Every structure is written in C-alpha cells, then in structure tokens.
Amino acid sequence: MGLIIRLSAFVALATVLVYVGNTLAYRMDMREFGAAFSFSFQMLMPMLFIAGIAAVLGLIGLFARQAGSGLFAILSALILLGCAAGPLGIRHNASRVPPIHDITTDTQTPPQFVAVVPLRAETGATNPPEYDREQTARQLEAYPDIDTVTVDADYGTVFDLSLQVLQEMGLVIVEADEAAGRIEATHTSRWWGFKDDVVIRFNREDTPLTIDMRSKSRIGGSDVGANANRIETFFSKLEARLA
C-alpha cells in the first residue's frame, strides 16, 4: 500500500514539474505564448484529478499507519493544488469581466503612451499602443466608476506621491516628466511575466488638479480585470496618502 501512495505522490510532483516547465519555456522564449497559456488550462482538470487521488491515498496512508507515505502524498497534492489555483483563478476572473485589455479614466481623450512605445515594440507586444475605441462601450458598462480623479493638493506633491505609490505597487518607472505632467511605468506579473503599461496624465491647467490614468496589456485579448484593478488601487492609495 505504501508503494502505491508514494507513487501517487511522485505522479503529482511530476505533474507540477510539467506545469512549471511549461511556464519556464515561455519565459525563456522557448515556447509561443498562445501554446503555453492554452496548455496551462488544458492541464487544469488533470491536475485537480491527480491531486485528488494523491490526497485521498495520503489520508488512507495516515489511517493505515503509513504516516511517512501519507504525509508525502498529501504534501504533493497540496503543491499541485497550488499550481492549479493559477489557471483556476484566471478562469474565474475571466468569467466575471469583459474581454478587454485597455482601461482608461478618460475614454474621450485617453492619455497617450510615449516612452513605453519602443519597449512594447522590443518585446513583441501584440496589442498596439493606440487606444482601441471598440473597447470603450464594454469598459463603461463593466467599470462605470473608473473616471477622472480630482485632487485638491499641490501638483509637485501629488506628482512625487504618485511615483511612490506606483513603486509600492511593484511598477517600474519608465519615465517621470514633471514638466510635461506625465508618468509612464510598467508592471510585470510574477508567474507568467505578463507586462502591462501605465501612463498617468496630470491635467495641470485644471483647478483643482485632475488626473487621468490608463493601463494596457502588451499581449492577450483579456486582462481578466487586472488593469481596472490597478487603476482603482492606485487612486485609492494616492488619496489615502493625500488624506
């Protein structure tokens, strides 16, 4: 019995290696994005099935006084379930939001990317830097609260705090042009390494000061809500700092 339990654990760990290897192959430019991303979802049900079998056998091992094998199988199952949580979460979030990847607080005259444009070209971004107005209606329906933000504070202070907030959120500043009233930054996801670009426009001619922000993914038809969440988080943190 102990051999079967340990075998289930090894199968679970082997599946983990396949899942991780698939992602690493994409991160190392050894596999095309579409194929790697699709494969991670194709693995979802097998991962859940294998993890379930390993967990059940692990529990049996504990009750059958095969504690070592049982714990090994349960631990392997938990590791595999941790991997499965990634595509499972993406699938769940994607079902709750429209398939768009370019979010802005100003859909009429959205902030334009400047400094990140060559970076997007260098990394082979499939989504062009220009604003896609075909997404506007879907954004307004899904995120009606995302709009231009007004702050009653000194411009220089707001600009500096904005830089701090972006960095705290894990974004890398690409350009901070205080004279032009523009900040551009890039966020890279931890697992897949997906890059989303951000541009913040400070409308200095407005009294009080108004701020617009735009966040756009470099690849993929849907951002599963990441760009909208980033904008909401930024303004929430900035307003908390200003308060």
Res. 48 pLDDT band, cuts 50 70 90: very high
Among residues 185, 223, 3, the alpha carbon closest in space to that of 100 is found at: 223
pLDDT at 103: 96
Number of domains into which the chain is organized: 2
Res. 206 pLDDT band, cuts 50 70 90: confident
Among residues 175, 221, 177, the alpha carbon closest in space to that of 198 is found at: 175
Question: Do 66 and 107 fall within a single domain?
Answer: no
Question: What's the rounded Cα separation, in Å, for the pair 25 and 121?
Answer: 21
Domain boundary among 94, 118, 134: 94
Domain boundary among 94, 117, 152: 94
Question: Do 57 and 140 fall within a single domain?
Answer: no
Question: Do 171 and 109 fall within a single domain?
Answer: yes
pLDDT at 76: 96
Encode pLDDT of 174-197 as tens digits. 999 999 999 999 999 888 888 999
Assign 3-class secondary structure to 73-87: HHHHHHHHHHHHHHH
Question: Do 126 and 160 fall within a single domain?
Answer: yes
Question: Do 115 and 194 fall within a single domain?
Answer: yes
- Mean pLDDT (the chain, rounded): 92
pLDDT at 134: 87
pLDDT at 235: 97
Among residues 168, 156, 147, the alpha carbon closest in space to that of 228 is found at: 147
Domain boundary among 94, 119, 141: 94
**Is 90 exceeded by the pLDDT of residue 171?**
yes
Residue 132 maps to which CATH number?
3.30.310.80
pLDDT at 95: 78
Encode pLDDT of 209-237 as tens digits. 999 999 999 998 888 899 999 999 999 99
Cα-to-chain-centroid distance, residue 200? 19
Question: Do 60 and 115 fall within a single domain?
Answer: no
Dihedral angle at the C-alpha atoms of 202, 205, 206, 208, nearest 10 degrees? 80
User: DSSP state, 24?
Assistant: H
pTM for the predicted model, two decimal places: 0.84
pLDDT at 33: 78
Burial of 172 (0-12, 13-18, 19+ CB in 10 A): exposed
Encode pLDDT of 87-143 as tens digits. 888 888 777 888 899 999 999 999 999 999 999 998 889 999 999 898 899 999 999
Q: State both tokens at 116.
A: 């990140």
Question: Do 7 and 62 fall within a single domain?
Answer: yes
Question: What's the rounded Cα separation, in Å, for the pair 114 and 216?
Answer: 13
Give the structural domain span for 68.
Answer: 2-94
Question: Do 117 and 235 fall within a single domain?
Answer: yes
Question: Do 111 and 220 fall within a single domain?
Answer: yes
Question: Do 81 and 187 fall within a single domain?
Answer: no
Encode pLDDT of 27-45 as tens digits. 888 888 788 888 998 999 9
Question: Do 81 and 146 fall within a single domain?
Answer: no
**42: number of Cβ within 10 Å:** 11
Question: Do 107 and 171 fall within a single domain?
Answer: yes
